[in-house]
């Protein structure tokens, strides 16, 4: 689980601990493995203060971690409102975990997301219809504000973590929000996935997780292709960037669309929807003199043999 984190000295690894079965099982496994690798395991419990008694729940989780031999800390955060309650709490939690990792000089933060969590993430991405990116689910390893973020339990089912807690005599906390059907993820977990299992047969969660893994491999290949070709396609322009129309047209549609999204994301920090991407692509493949396409943070227009992306307001200021 942590073999790649071997290091000299006394480096730490931060375990995100909510007190639920998944994170308690992860804490127990880390307490067993980390010392053998020369790592100092630290449990960090983030108290979002969104429920009555959340401070007591957090302290109980910290005590459970200490009983397993981990150093344990509780971090209390203020949750904003951007993106809804779930997204805001997630943002605050990850910011707190990243800060804790920096404070303790940790090599990584590890979280207890399971195969079931991955399946739910992919299913919700499918429902949003936002393309392959949302269907990739969660990566086993990624970056968290400069710190390595690991999810070592993505191949483990939730019932396994519960069994591990029972075997260790651990008493997991049951988060009441996990049964609150106001949340889309809860409805997916409690209703949609069981219906799919019943109507289509067992193994749906595993199939969704496999889909995420395969799409992540595809995305990595596309990213490598974009990195290899984009320097030949792109030129900096006044207040923006331009791309060769001929070169874009010569690429398959999937790669062409990814290049368009990549340019807008890297240059202007914005994400395009499928409809917006296709509208920009029409300036390449179906050019009939149409005017600029307004996009988040920028606009795209055909200028001779170039596709120009200009920051919002820049064109008007120039005119």
pLDDT for 319: 39
Residues 6+ apart with CB under 8 A from 58: 19, 45, 46, 47, 74, 76
> Alpha carbon 291 to chain centroid distance?
36
| φ, ψ dihedrals at 114, nearest 5° | -105, 180
How far apart, in Å, are the Cα atoms of 84 and each of 46, 118, 252? Answer: 18, 21, 37
3-state secondary structure of 197: helix
Cβ contact 61:19 at 8 Å: yes
CA distance 182 to 203: 26
Structure tokens at 130: 């936002």
pLDDT for 64: 95
CA distance 207 to 137: 13
pLDDT for 132: 72
| φ, ψ dihedrals at 273, nearest 5° | -80, 170
Cβ contact 120:194 at 8 Å: no
**What digits encode the pLDDT tens for the residues 252-282?**
998 899 899 989 998 999 989 889 999 999 9
**What digits encode the pLDDT tens for the residues 184-207?**
899 999 999 999 999 999 999 999
Going by the DSSP 8-state scheme, the letter that residue 9 receives in this structure is S
In 3D space, the residue among 318, 292, 295 whose CA is nearest the CA of residue 303 turns out to be: 292
Alpha carbons within 13 angstroms on the beta-carbon side of residue 49 total 8
* Helical residues (DSSP H) of 193-203, grouped into ranges: 193-200
CA distance 92 to 47: 10
pLDDT classification of 318: cutoffs 50, 70, 90? very low
pLDDT for 133: 72
pLDDT for 254: 87
Structure tokens at 217: 């491999």
In 3D space, the residue among 138, 169, 150, 157 whose CA is nearest the CA of residue 22 turns out to be: 157
* Angle, in degrees to the nearest 10, between helices 54-67 and 21-33: 30
CA distance 31 to 69: 6
Residues 6+ apart with CB under 8 A from 217: none
pLDDT classification of 316: cutoffs 50, 70, 90? very low
Cβ contact 109:97 at 8 Å: yes
Going by the DSSP 8-state scheme, the letter that residue 156 receives in this structure is S
Domains in the chain, ordered, with CATH? 3-204 (3.40.50.620), 238-318 (3.30.465.60)
pLDDT classification of 81: cutoffs 50, 70, 90? confident
**What digits encode the pLDDT tens for the residues 197-254?**
999 999 999 999 999 999 888 888 888 888 777 777 888 877 789 999 999 999 899 8
- In the predicted model, what is the mean pLDDT of residues 281-309? 94
Going by the DSSP 8-state scheme, the letter that residue 190 receives in this structure is I
Enter the pTM of the model.
0.81
In 3D space, the residue among 118, 102, 108 whose CA is nearest the CA of residue 2 turns out to be: 108
Where is 249: in which H helix or E strand? Answer: helix 245-250
Where is 201: in which H helix or E strand? Answer: none
């Amino acid at each position: 689980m942590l073999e790649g984190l071997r290091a000299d000295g006394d480096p730490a690894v931060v375990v995100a601990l909510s007190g639920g079965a998944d994170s308690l099982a992860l804490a127990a496994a880390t307490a067993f493995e980390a010392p053998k690798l020369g790592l100092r395991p630290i449990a960090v419990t983030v108290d979002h203060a969104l429920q009555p008694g959340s401070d007591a729940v957090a302290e109980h989780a910290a005590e459970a971690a200490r009983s397993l031999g981990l150093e344990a800390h509780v971090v209390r955060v203020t949750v904003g409102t951007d993106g809804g309650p779930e997204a805001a709490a997630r943002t605050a939690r990850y910011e707190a975990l990243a800060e804790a990792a920096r404070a303790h000089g940790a090599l990584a933060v590890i979280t207890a997301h399971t195969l079931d969590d991955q399946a739910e993430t992919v299913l919700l991405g499918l429902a949003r219809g936002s393309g392959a990116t949302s269907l990739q689910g969660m990566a086993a390893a990624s970056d968290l504000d400069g710190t390595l973020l690991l999810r070592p339990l993505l191949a483990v089912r939730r019932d396994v973590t519960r069994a591990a807690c029972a075997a260790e005599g651990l008493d997991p906390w049951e988060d009441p929000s996990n049964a609150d059907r106001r949340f889309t993820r809860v409805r997916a977990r409690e209703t949609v996935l069981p219906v799919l299992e019943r109507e289509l047969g067992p193994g749906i969660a595993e199939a969704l997780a496999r889909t995420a893994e395969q799409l992540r491999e595809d995305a990595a290949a596309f990213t490598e292709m974009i990195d290899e070709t984009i320097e030949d396609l792109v030129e900096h322009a006044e207040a923006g960037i331009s791309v060769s129309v001929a070169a874009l047209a010569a690429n398959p549609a999937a790669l062409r669309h990814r290049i368009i999204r990549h340019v807008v994301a890297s240059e202007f920090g914005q994400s395009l929807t499928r409809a917006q991407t296709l509208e920009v692509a029409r300036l390449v493949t179906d050019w009939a003199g149409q005017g600029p396409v307004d996009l988040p943070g920028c606009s795209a227009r055909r200028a001779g043999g170039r596709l120009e992306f200009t920051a919002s307001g820049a064109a008007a200021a120039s005119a």
